[in-house]
A and B are shown apart, each in its own frame.
Chain A
């Protein structure tokens, strides 16, 4: 091989690796990206059963039912619509009624219930996942005062339990 050919081979090899990587990334995006929905969005979303999504909202007061072995069912609400969710496993430590939650999973084709395979525990100090807080603010369900009041550590005295504050937001939902 001449020097020019060698260089071409190297550049060609490199370029084809990069092109493969780009296609791989695009393919992976089309396969494995989960969109975020709130219960009210689902009426217009026209989802196929089995499509992985993230469902966010507030856990409705009094909706958490345990006692079916390790399966827990609860209702996620955004004030306008509700979606029943079932989940098998251990709920995160910060999961509470009346507070924000993000679940990931898909709708069961037969029962039309949302079957979650993960319930997200990554909350900020307001016990509210960012996606849910953003949407609640946008929809006007979230009151700034309420949001602040829910902060357990930063702005409120430490004695108040977060549960009490959780109910403040919970009460804004019908």
Chain B
């Protein structure tokens, strides 16, 4: 019964979506406040209905109702409760439900928090959101219905894919989708502005918090996914340049560009048309990512089931929304007035450079991701574009960005003195070089590029510190005065500094973990010892263990340094009984920011086993940096200036002087 209520709620949500898609737009056209108000109520109702539907599906998972096909396929009565909850989105249908839930959640947020947005703009934004919701509701109901029943109901489920039975599944998809789908709000704002044919700095002020929120969640989601892949897959890698990873990385790059260009637009009314285009592109890349992951054109842990009708449906959604938005852009953009002028060397100029580099690197990643697909479709030839391609192109393109990032915040708006900024920074550049060299020396040896990379990461970190240092005017004013000045800085300045600092930390982590990792693949018998990263690992043998829905062989290792036992670590081979699927659980031991990573291979004749041991220096910096970026995002989001809109605009915009919308 509850399952049917969920299904019915979803159908009702579809009906609501149709109403919200149409009425507010007509309302804007006819200046009818009541019709426009439908958008707010309708969006809230839609959120309520989808949430109810999602709750019904979750309920079916929690009570293990195997008469629901989706639950039978992806759950098991013995599965721990947490995985029953997270298993809801550990499959195609459920993950689309999560996608939709977050989409209507954002619509509802705009409806609630968008009080200072002009009514016409708000109505249009919510309508565009409803169009997207409508498309995905149709997609779910017609091609991926999670509420399909089985008759007769099987007694036991088929279990969730063991790789997904992890805490990571509970947080990675929701965070990622909050980011991915959050950009839909920017898209809707862009389309609504194009429909109204009017755009100004206030628009950027309304869009920026949404961009910032989506960006922050996406940063967290990608970092979480990367760490999950790192510890779960047992391969010791943390980023594979897999098309599915790229699918989430491209919106992040474009979103980062959008974050910076919206800043220029808000402060200086420049780059308007470009910002609108970026807002459209960012969400288009999110949609493209959904298509790549969900259509079955790729094989990966993320592509659950392959059904051609789904792929074609999503391709249609893609074509309609991206094509439609770009056509609207081509039609309306020339009517938007271009904004303020600025010198090439200025804060604006630096932000334009940031946008140039970020969009070009997004295009590079896009090319590398789509080229194999295009080539296969056109010529039938199968190629793989892997990490070497992306490291070469993306890595090199990022260099100027990393060099320029600390300089940007130092430059003044409109016209700046690059030499002056350099003078203020040279001491920090020197420091960065020294710290980079020291780190290199501590890791004894390594290629020249690694030293450069480490120095670059330190430059990013110290540059952020220098920014705060100069703003506080340390060294010129008494320390207490400087501290007070720092305290008085807007939160967004702190956010910028934190995010740039985090970027530097991540770069240090990436360079150190790539250049200084050591790997040992050895056959070990009980009692044998291997040296890795300055520690000795002794293999003590196996122990059998039984988990709730798996059996495992756990290998025990004693870790010692200089003869004294430091710690111990377990690494195991699991066999999930329902699917007869083996997995490897890596043993990870953390020393400060570095990690020792132990993964088991196949047992050999004679009692030995192949063991793969990595020493990964400073690897935690990669995710630590992302965490700092995320904190920067939240700090910036808490800035009062972002929340307080421009109430004066409201009175002006209600005047019926604008062109009629479509």
* Chain A residues engaging chain B, CB cutoff 8 angstroms: 3, 6, 9-10, 13-14, 17-18, 21, 24-25, 27-29, 31-36, 54, 66-67, 69-70, 72, 88-91, 93-94, 104, 121-125, 129-131, 134, 152-154, 158, 161-163
Contacts and interface: CB of A to CB of B under 8 A. Distances in A.
Contact of B158 (A66, A123, A158, A161): A158
A115 B396 CA distance: 30
B386 A10 contact: no
Interface string B222-258: 0000000000011100000010000000000000000
Nearest to A156: B158
Given A6-B344, A33-B385, 5 more contacts: A35-B382, A67-B604, A90-B584, A90-B600, A158-B159
A129 B356 CA distance: 38
Interface string B299-332: 1110101100000000000000000000000000
B389 A32 contact: yes
Given A24-B396, A25-B393, A89-B521, A129 B385 contact: no
18 contacts: A14-B356, A17-B357, A18-B360, A21-B393, A32-B386, A33-B384, A33-B389, A36-B382, A89-B601, A90-B601, A90-B602, A93-B581, A121-B235, A153-B579, A154-B305, A158-B159, A158-B580, A161-B580
A88 B299 contact: no
Interface stretch (B284-292, B363-371, B627-635): B363-371
Nearest to B357: A17
B41 to A, nearest CB: 42
A152 B521 contact: no
A29 B156 CA distance: 49
A152 B601 contact: no
B392 A93 contact: no
Q: Which of A10, A93, A123 has the most CB of B within 10 A?
A: A93
Given A152-B579, A153-B579, A90 B521 contact: yes
A66 B605 contact: yes
Give the top 7 A-B pairs by smallest Cβ distance, nearest first.
A90-B601, A32-B388, A36-B382, A130-B299, A70-B521, A28-B392, A93-B582
Contacts of B393: 21, 24-25, 28
B415 to A, nearest CB: 11
A46 to B, nearest CB: 16
Contacts of A125: 305
B388 A88 contact: no
Interface string B582-607: 11100000000000000111101100
B371 A29 contact: yes
Given A24-B396, A90-B602, A131-B382, A123 B612 contact: no
B384 A9 contact: no
B385 to A, nearest CB: 6
Contacts of B306: 124
A161 to B, nearest CB: 5
B385 A32 contact: yes
Interface in B534-575: 573
B599 A90 contact: yes
Contacts of B604: 66-67
Nearest to B163: A93
Interface in B131-162: 156, 158-159, 161
B234 to A, nearest CB: 8
Given A31-B392, A124-B303, A158-B579, A21 B363 contact: yes
Nearest to A127: B581
Contacts of B580: 152, 158, 161-163
Given A32-B385, A34-B386, A89-B521, A24 B392 contact: yes
A89 B388 CA distance: 20
B235 to A, nearest CB: 8
Contacts of B392: 24, 27-28, 31-32
B81 interface: no
A162 B73 CA distance: 17
Q: Is the interface of A mostly helix, strand, loop or mixed?
A: mixed
B654 interface: no
Interface string B601-625: 1101100001010000000000000
A70 B383 contact: no
A76 B610 CA distance: 22
Nearest to B233: A121
B381 interface: yes
B578 interface: yes
Interface in B478-503: none
A35 B381 contact: yes
Contacts of A154: 73, 305
A31 B388 contact: yes
B216 to A, nearest CB: 28
Nearest to A18: B360
A14 B274 CA distance: 14
Given A35-B382, A124-B303, A161-B580, A21 B364 contact: yes
A92 to B, nearest CB: 8
B200 interface: no
A17 B400 CA distance: 10
A3 B343 CA distance: 9
A104 B386 CA distance: 11
Interface in B260-309: 298-301, 303, 305-306
A24 B262 CA distance: 29
A123 B360 CA distance: 32
B331 to A, nearest CB: 25
A78 B38 CA distance: 62
Contacts of A124: 299, 303, 306
A133 to B, nearest CB: 9
A122 B298 CA distance: 10
Contacts of B396: 24
A93 B357 contact: no
B639 interface: no
Given A130-B299, A131-B382, A66 B602 contact: yes
B397 interface: yes
Contacts of B171: none
Given A18-B360, A121-B233, A36 B384 contact: yes
Nearest to A6: B344
B389 A24 contact: no
A161 B580 CA distance: 6
Contacts of B303: 124
Nearest to A164: B580
Contacts of A130: 298-299
A161 B576 CA distance: 11
Nearest to A89: B521
Contacts of A32: 385-386, 388-389, 392
Contacts of A131: 382
B582 A153 contact: no
A24 B397 contact: yes
A69 B525 CA distance: 11
Nearest to A24: B393
Contacts of A13: 344
A144 to B, nearest CB: 14
B386 A70 contact: no
A6 B343 CA distance: 8
B383 A33 contact: yes
A24 B343 CA distance: 29
Contacts of A163: 580
